[in-house]
A and B are shown apart, each in its own frame.
Chain A
Amino acid sequence: MRELTYADALREALREEMIRDSNVVLLGEEIGVFNGVYKVTRGLLDEFGAERVMDTPISEAAITGAAVGLALVGMRPVAEIMYMDFLPICMDQLVTQAAKMRFMSGGQLKVPMVLRTQYSLGRQHGAQHSQFTPSWFLQVPGLKVALPATPHDAKGLLKSAIRDENPVLFIESGLLYKTKGPVPEEEYTIPFGTADIKRKGDDVTIVGVSRCVGESLSAAKKLEEKGVSVEVVDIRTLQPLDLGTIIESVKRTARLVIVSDDVKTGGVGAEISAAVTENAFDYLDAPVVRVACPETPIPFSPPLEQMYMPSADRIIQAVARIVE
């Protein structure tokens, strides 16, 4: 199968959906003339013109609000927020407007919009350009959240996100943009709420989120050499969350480690751990372990940042704690 980078896979999804549906429009900072800060929108302005690829002022609340308004009148906007750290500026529009419109209108309105963003942990961007805060959005019924870990999933999930009738927060990993992986030439989509078993195993389940899926796979390889068989589950979407696949895996392995790039307290791992404990407590032979980031802002200093982030080594240590 041909290989594409994560960025090119995303770009292909955007391009295909723009060809498929003339209501799909893009808006965001630097996505047109500059081709996107991470080149995900490269060439799209030339191909589709300024009415469908719109450079905006630096106005994150208005970018998000405009996407909401566009969606209300039948367009399918894909707005880009350059860094996940800028989401707090759009929080009202995303959380309090877009996600609640369907409900509080009694089903009269729908908001088919995608807000693409990325987090740059691991790229020495410091405390205000690196944050990964997906668990904030667990508290927002009405919103869907996707976080692809591979080029294949990035393309398939983005296509589904664009076709979805609901607001979708689409979180990319800045560290993954240049990574390559197999992407089929033929049309495909990936439904939301389907976790993917990235590696089969029997002794322990590792649930990975976004960049940490790859880190978990590296750890699994090394653990195999030590005779530990690891299953790696990629959640792919956080809302909806495919708890069924996670629990099925835990029923077989009886051990669970959750790995994500967010701060451990109140993070994605906390929710998954609670849900598994609530629904599959009897199947667990060991405490659930979370591998995540410490309770500090993200340091700039490259060696400190490396220590701050979950790594294959830290995952191996975590597994060692619960596997004899």
Chain B
Amino acid sequence: MPLATLTQIHGISQNEYSKHGLTKEKLREMLHMMLLIRRFEEKVEELFLVKGLLIGPSHLYLGQEAIATGAIMALENDDQTVTTYRGHGHALAKGVPAKLCMAELFGKSTGNCKGLGGSMHIGIYPKVGSLYATAIVGSGIPIAAGVALGLKLKKSKNIVATFFGDGAVNTGEFHEGVNLIAVWKLPALVFCENNQYGMSTHVKRAVSSPSIAERGRSYGMDTMVVDGNDVISVYVATKAAAEKAREHSLPTFLECLTYKMKGHGVYDKGDYRPKDEVAKWLERDPILVFKKRLLEGRFLAQTEIDQEERVVQQEIEDSVAFALEGSPISFDEMKKYVYAGGT
């Protein structure tokens, strides 16, 4: 059996955009989504730290917007996602309305999980294929294996994409799940968003292998190392991997290299990170990188970018207003959701 492949995806050239279906509209849609996630997370941070209106853990997706956006925009609408507690970005990209996400953060009945899930589970909205979001590190991978198996058994053309961080790759569930996906050749895309830190622990202090990608490959899965701060790279890589999963039921492991702009959770300042390292990565802020590309490639004008900013800003303000209006479900109603079909 030939060794699984290991490929690097770091950008495409100007003349390849049309080949990949990256029209002006598509690119603008990507920008919109990246901005929506960024402004949503900035608003959440403000609601926690400045206004004190939100409490509990919340793990922001700041700096990783290119991954959820590029990956999920390369999927079909009915494809399924399994994400984590750092899942606001995936939820928004998969189409969970921002106002439902915001209401969920406020614990209101108007949230997508009726306020019973909270920040760590706003990626649960099966209506749009945002199937599940787990708060236990590594646990989404075996579940994604089952989802992919179910889709395969049902002869569906849909696939599953699962997302997790570098912190997950040392858990048992990661290894059991990735092995099952590989040995059963399941239609799954396995995204490791390597943002360099599991809480405060740098990936080099936690992972024994030369790279996380090596681990995916060692399970016999074709593997890509992707510039996770470049939405185009993520999009192109995912498109190729998705086709392989859809047409041939072959999984792909994608290590997306990125960086958490802030700390682990909203209260963590992340001051254990070297300043020069932070500065270096902030120069590669995925939104700066993308805006620059759009302008230099003459895909969008500055006025169009500004207009997207305004539209997104309004959507965020509306979502906060919507969240504030709602109220929590009653204590009695809550008890109805323990079991399906009563009892």
* Chain A contact residues, CB within 8 Å of chain B: 25, 51, 56-57, 59-62, 64-75, 77, 89, 92-93, 96-97, 101-112, 141-142, 144, 164-166, 192-193, 240
Q: In whole angstroms, how far apart are the Cα atoms of A97 and B142 in the complex?
A: 11
Are B146 and A65 in contact (CB-based, < 8 A)? yes
Are B146 and A57 in contact (CB-based, < 8 A)? no
Hey, which chain B residues are within 8 Å of A57, CB to CB?
176, 179-180, 183
In the complex formed, the residue of A with least CB distance to B177 is A62
The listed residue (A60, A67, A69) touching B144 by CB distance below 8 A is A69
User: Contacts A57-B180, A61-B172, A142-B338 hold; do A104 and B139 have CB atoms under 8 A apart?
Assistant: no
B131 at the interface (CB under 8 A from A): yes
Are B149 and A66 in contact (CB-based, < 8 A)? yes
Q: Known pairs A73-B151, A104-B118. 12 more at Cβ < 8 A?
A: A61-B176, A62-B176, A65-B139, A66-B145, A66-B149, A66-B180, A70-B150, A72-B146, A92-B139, A102-B340, A104-B124, A105-B121
B136 at the interface (CB under 8 A from A): yes
B337 at the interface (CB under 8 A from A): yes
Are B141 and A141 in contact (CB-based, < 8 A)? no
Are B132 and A101 in contact (CB-based, < 8 A)? yes
Are A61 and B150 in contact (CB-based, < 8 A)? no
Are A73 and B147 in contact (CB-based, < 8 A)? yes
CB distance from B168 to the nearest CB of A (A): 13
Q: In whole angstroms, how far apart are the Cα atoms of A144 and B339 in the complex?
A: 9
Cβ-closest 10 pairs across A and B: A69-B146, A65-B142, A106-B114, A62-B176, A66-B146, A73-B150, A165-B340, A59-B176, A69-B147, A106-B113
Are A75 and B150 in contact (CB-based, < 8 A)? yes
Q: In whole angstroms, how far apart are the Cα atoms of A156 and B144 in the complex?
A: 32
User: Contacts A59-B179, A92-B173 hold; do A102 and B153 have CB atoms under 8 A apart?
Assistant: no
Are A166 and B340 in contact (CB-based, < 8 A)? yes
Hey, which chain A residues are within 8 Å of B111, CB to CB?
106
CB distance from A50 to the nearest CB of B (A): 11
B80 at the interface (CB under 8 A from A): yes
Are B179 and A97 in contact (CB-based, < 8 A)? no
Q: In whole angstroms, how far apart are the Cα atoms of A279 and B229 in the complex?
A: 62
A-B contact list, 8 entries, CB within 8 Å: A62-B179, A66-B142, A72-B143, A101-B132, A104-B121, A110-B340, A112-B340, A142-B338
CB distance from A145 to the nearest CB of B (A): 13
The listed residue (B124, B134, B154, B336) touching A73 by CB distance below 8 A is B154
Hey, which chain B residues are within 8 Å of A240, CB to CB?
343
Are A105 and B180 in contact (CB-based, < 8 A)? no
Q: In whole angstroms, how far apart are the Cα atoms of A140 and B121 in the complex?
A: 19
B326 at the interface (CB under 8 A from A): no
Are B117 and A70 in contact (CB-based, < 8 A)? no
CB distance from A130 to the nearest CB of B (A): 24
The listed residue (A69, A73, A74, A144) touching B142 by CB distance below 8 A is A69
Max chain B CB contacts within 10 Å: which of A51, A92, A96, A142?
Answer: A92
Hey, which chain A residues are within 8 Å of B252, CB to CB?
none
Are B173 and A62 in contact (CB-based, < 8 A)? yes
Hey, which chain A residues are within 8 Å of B153, CB to CB?
25, 51, 70, 75
CB distance from A22 to the nearest CB of B (A): 9
Q: In whole angstroms, how far apart are the Cα atoms of A144 and B144 in the complex?
A: 23
B283-310: CB near A (< 8 Å → 1, else 0) gives: 0000000000000000000000000000
Are B147 and A96 in contact (CB-based, < 8 A)? no
Q: In whole angstroms, how far apart are the Cα atoms of A199 and B148 in the complex?
A: 48
In the complex formed, the residue of A with least CB distance to B339 is A166
Q: In whole angstroms, how far apart are the Cα atoms of A181 and B150 in the complex?
A: 36
Hey, which chain A residues are within 8 Å of B343, CB to CB?
192-193, 240
Are A104 and B113 in contact (CB-based, < 8 A)? yes
Hey, which chain A residues are within 8 Å of B341, CB to CB?
164-166
Q: In whole angstroms, how far apart are the Cα atoms of A69 and B80 in the complex?
A: 11
B126 at the interface (CB under 8 A from A): yes
The listed residue (B148, B183, B337) touching A106 by CB distance below 8 A is B337
Are A70 and B339 in contact (CB-based, < 8 A)? no
B87 at the interface (CB under 8 A from A): no
Hey, which chain B residues are within 8 Å of A144, CB to CB?
339
User: Contacts A65-B173, A69-B145, A70-B146 hold; do A109 and B136 have CB atoms under 8 A apart?
Assistant: no
Residues of B141-190 contacting chain A, CB below 8 A: 141-151, 153-154, 172-173, 176-177, 179-180, 183
Are B124 and A105 in contact (CB-based, < 8 A)? yes
CB distance from A165 to the nearest CB of B (A): 4
CB distance from B231 to the nearest CB of A (A): 28
B203-245: CB near A (< 8 Å → 1, else 0) gives: 0000000000000000000000000000000000000000000
Hey, which chain B residues are within 8 Å of A103, CB to CB?
116, 337-338
Residues of B63-87 contacting chain A, CB below 8 A: 80, 82
Are B337 and A107 in contact (CB-based, < 8 A)? yes
Q: In whole angstroms, how far apart are the Cα atoms of A71 and B131 in the complex?
A: 12
B125 at the interface (CB under 8 A from A): yes
CB distance from A224 to the nearest CB of B (A): 36
Hey, which chain A residues are within 8 Å of B180, CB to CB?
56-57, 59, 62, 66
Q: In whole angstroms, how far apart are the Cα atoms of A124 and B142 in the complex?
A: 33
Are B139 and A93 in contact (CB-based, < 8 A)? yes
The listed residue (B113, B176, B177, B329) touching A108 by CB distance below 8 A is B113
Are A107 and B339 in contact (CB-based, < 8 A)? no
In the complex formed, the residue of B with least CB distance to A101 is B132
CB distance from B141 to the nearest CB of A (A): 7
B112 at the interface (CB under 8 A from A): yes
Hey, which chain B residues are within 8 Å of A96, CB to CB?
136, 139
